[in-house]
Homo-oligomer: A and B are copies of this chain.
Amino acid sequence: MAAAAARAALPRLNLTLPSSSVSLAASPVPGPRAAASVATSAAAPPQPLVTTRLGDVIEAQQFDRAALNEIFEVAREMEAVERGSHGAPSRVLEGYLMATLFYEPSTRTRLSFEAAMRRLGGEVLTTENAREFSSAAKGETLEDTIRTVEGYSDIIVLRHFESGAARRAADTANIPVINAGDGPGQHPTQALLDVYTIKREIGTLDGIKLGLVGDLANGRTVRSLAYLIAKYQNIKIYFVSPDVVKMKDDIKDYLNSRGVEWEESSNLLEVASQCDVIYQTRIQKERFGERIDLYEAARGKYIIDKKVLDVLPKHAVIMHPLPRLDEITVDVDSDPRAAYFRQAKNGLYIRMALLKLLLVGH
């Protein structure tokens, strides 16, 4: 959202500028941004905390604990709204129109946003593959497309292949923009649903012990999660990954600056025995290019299987952003601690909460 007039009509939500310059983007390519821009870019210098309104959802860093709490509270309310769908469907967003502008396909994310809108009584304009837009193919800028689409809808959910695209869209639009993933950049609603799932499953965020497993170098998910979880107290993080995809120094430095305890380990079973949450991720083949041998070595190294379940505490859970290949074996699925499909479902509640907060307020 760019215009002050439009912003004035929006609900209030506390939102904090990050006090650190850490980048969550694997390959940060910040786009142009307006002077009035709310969230900081990857390269922004440290700034004092400020409180403002939630106009757009662009980056995981834009949320402080108060904002997270409000979103999670509304998300929790959404479970009842969804349960009531058949008898007493919600009309909270009746008459509102969401445009899903997806420049690369992501059916899981798109469907959960569209389900969220509909569970609240709203309507949807869909593009499954906006990149083949005749107008984009003819050379139209993203900004011009946004100026057109904002005339037809009340909120835009944007998935784009370029880092920074969501910020550019938000700086252009007079209606709210939600970043549903911009290339190697950000995917803030995924980060929100991950933190919400930990809270929902474990009951608390302060004091948790979290094992991040798999591809920690390239996955924007674990990087965003590390950042967000650092906002809570007495966090301990274990990094368990093949050497070729270790967590990068920027996140380690950031955790140090926040006083978050972390360590690297190559012993998955030992880590599992001490954690509240094991967050497994997929080793991304496409990152290895022609070095298939390195990929094969990396992918088989840390698998969540029955042996991990045997040592995992009873109250702990296993999470995964999905899709998974074989980094979690299917015989784990039936264990009550396998939380990854509940985690996917939480994506619905988080997106319902964001749509409600952005369009009509709490």
A residues lining the B interface (CB < 8 Å): 85-89, 94-97, 99, 104-108, 111-112, 114-115, 118-119, 123, 125-130, 132-135, 138-140, 144-145, 147-149, 151-154, 282, 322-325, 341, 344-345, 348
* In contact, B89 and A144 (Cβ under 8 angstroms): no
A133 to B348, CA, bound (A): 19
Q: Chain B residues with Cβ under 8 A from A130's Cβ?
A: 107
Smallest distance from the beta carbon of A116 to chain B beta carbons, Å? 8
What are 21 of the A-B contact pairs (CB < 8 Å)?
Answer: A85-B96, A85-B154, A87-B95, A89-B94, A97-B119, A106-B134, A107-B134, A107-B135, A111-B127, A111-B152, A112-B152, A114-B125, A127-B128, A128-B128, A134-B323, A140-B322, A140-B325, A144-B324, A147-B344, A148-B341, A148-B344
In the complex, which residues of chain B have a beta carbon less than 8 angstroms from the beta carbon of A282? 138
- Return chain B residues, CB-CB under 8 Å to A325: 138-140
Beyond A115-B152, A138-B323, A152-B115, is A95–B85 a contact (Cβ under 8 Å)?
A: yes
Per the bound structure, the CA–CA distance linking A354 and B348 in Å amounts to: 27
Q: CB-CB < 8 A to A152: which residues of B?
A: 111-112, 115, 345, 348
Pick from B88, B129, B135, B322: contact of A144, CB below 8 A: B322
Q: Using CB atoms, name the residue of chain B closest to A333.
A: B147
Residues on B with C-beta less than 8 A from A125 are 111, 114-115, 118
Q: Which residues of B contact A147 (CB under 8 A)?
A: 341, 344
Question: Chain B residues near A126 (CB, 8 Å)?
Answer: 126
Chain B residues with Cβ below 8 Å from A341 are 147-148, 151
Task: Give the distance to chain B from A26, nearest Cβ to Cβ, in Å.
Answer: 17
The CA-CA distance from A28 to B115 in the complex, in Å, is 35
Task: Kindly list the 7 A-B residue pairs having the minimum CB-CB distance in the complex, ordered from nearest.
Answer: A89-B95, A140-B323, A115-B152, A151-B345, A135-B323, A85-B95, A148-B344
Q: Which residues of B contact A97 (CB under 8 A)?
A: 85, 115, 118-119
Task: State in angstroms the CA–CA spacing of A145 and B111 once bound together.
Answer: 12
Min CB gap A145→B, angstroms = 8
Residues of B within 8 A of A105 (CB): 132-134
B residues less than 8 Å from A111 (CB atoms) = 99, 125, 127, 149, 152-153
Q: Are B148 and A322 in contact (CB under 8 A)?
A: yes
